Amino acid sequence: MSPGEDGSEAEDRLVRAAATQLYAGAPAEFIATRTALVKSAKAEGQKEAAKSIGALRRPSVAAWALNQLVHQTDPVIEELAVLGARLRHATSALDASGITELRGPRDAALAALVAAAARVAADDGQKLTAAVEAEVRDTGIAALADEAAEAVLRSGTLTRALSYSGFGEVDVSEAAATTRTGVVLTSIPGGRAGHTGPGDVEDGEAEGTEADGAEAGGAEGVLDEAEDATAEEDDSELDGAQALQDAATELERERTLAEEETAAAQERERGIAEAKAAVHTAEQEVGRRRASVEAARNRTEATRQRIQKLEQQLETARAEDEDALEKLTTAVGNARQADAELKEARERLDRMLEQT
């Protein structure tokens, strides 16, 4: 315990520090780290803190990835919070145009959240399944819709994914790390968790516990060992239950995805059938148009042949006309020559008559 720090403050400090270490750490190290932190708290004489630390639940894969984004102060979390405030304001004001305007940024923010979670998992050598990515997206939707859900997400102690039904408040029960007395650790760095209730440790009780521990000596050590063994058994049972719950959630998500994929496949089959019918109709129409084109082509060919025949006839007529013209020209030339010869003969005759 630090100088000037009472028992409850020391407990609060230990629990928060433990939560920060656990939920910022690797999932494979969660149980071992939690056990070590419980023993450390007991060594400091903080039994209630040890109980609270021992009650911290291991997060699901989706919750773990989101916690990493919070502890790494990834900007996607702050962007989601800012957008959530705007969406909630527009919704409370019944601003339909505002809600519509924010639909695009909402989809982009959710896509960025899923991508960031997948990146965190990849950095740890993991690959998020489609079901886990869907849980990450569902949690983002819940945080956008509900301020309490946003606070749980931003606490960095998320233990399970959140979901929003579309109306009302988001169920955040057992969604974040809590002390053994049920106090939710809504913020990791700084501040008091606001412990109230029978689980709190008052100053006098803490001092009494320390005095009793000093007097009890070896008996206290035996009791601690027994409590450690019990705590480890409880941890194993809790972790087993958590694993079963995670598996059940994963199976339910996979079943839902399978149903969605089946529905999508049926829709695709209907679309394919409609497309085939449309193709068949189009093929029939193409056949009719091809027949029409072929008939037009035949008519065009017949017309071309008639034109060709007429051109041949015209060429023959032109040749005949040219031959006739040539003959006419020759006849005209002959006639002119005969006329000239006749004229010359007349002139000779006239001269002969004059001489006689």
Q: Tens digit of pLDDT for each residue in 150-194?
A: 999 998 999 999 999 887 889 988 888 876 556 556 544 433 333
In eight-state DSSP terms, residue 28 is G
Q: Is the pLDDT of residue 204 over 90?
A: no
Average pLDDT over residues 327-344: 91
More confident residue, 332 or 208: 332
More confident residue, 178 or 82: 82
Q: Which of 210, 177, 194 is nearest to 9 (CA)?
A: 194
Contacts of 17 (CB under 8 A, 6+ apart): none
pLDDT one-digit tens code per residue, 279-300: 888 888 888 899 988 898 999 8
Q: Identify the pLDDT of residue 139.
A: 95
Whole-angstrom Cα distance, residue 145 to residue 80? 11
Average pLDDT over residues 205-234: 45
pTM above 0.85, yes or no: no
Check: CB of residue 145 under 8 Å from CB of residue 164. yes
Average pLDDT over residues 76-103: 93
By three-state DSSP, how is residue 188 classified? Answer: coil
Q: Identify the pLDDT of residue 251.
A: 64
Q: Is the dihedral of CA 93, 99, 105, 108 positive or negative?
A: positive
Q: Is the pLDDT of residue 35 over 90?
A: yes
Confidence of residue 130 (pLDDT cuts 50, 70, 90): very high
Q: Identify the pLDDT of residue 61.
A: 94
Q: Identify the pLDDT of residue 217.
A: 39
Q: Identify the pLDDT of residue 28.
A: 87
**Mean pLDDT computed over every residue of the chain:** 80
Q: Identify the pLDDT of residue 5.
A: 57
By three-state DSSP, how is residue 197 classified? Answer: coil
Q: Identify the pLDDT of residue 207.
A: 37
Q: Identify the pLDDT of residue 83.
A: 95
Confidence of residue 135 (pLDDT cuts 50, 70, 90): very high
Q: Identify the pLDDT of residue 267.
A: 77
Give the distance from CA 78 to its chain's centroid: 19
The one-letter amino acid code at 343 reads: K
Q: Identify the pLDDT of residue 223.
A: 47
Residue ranges covered by each domain of the chain: 7-259
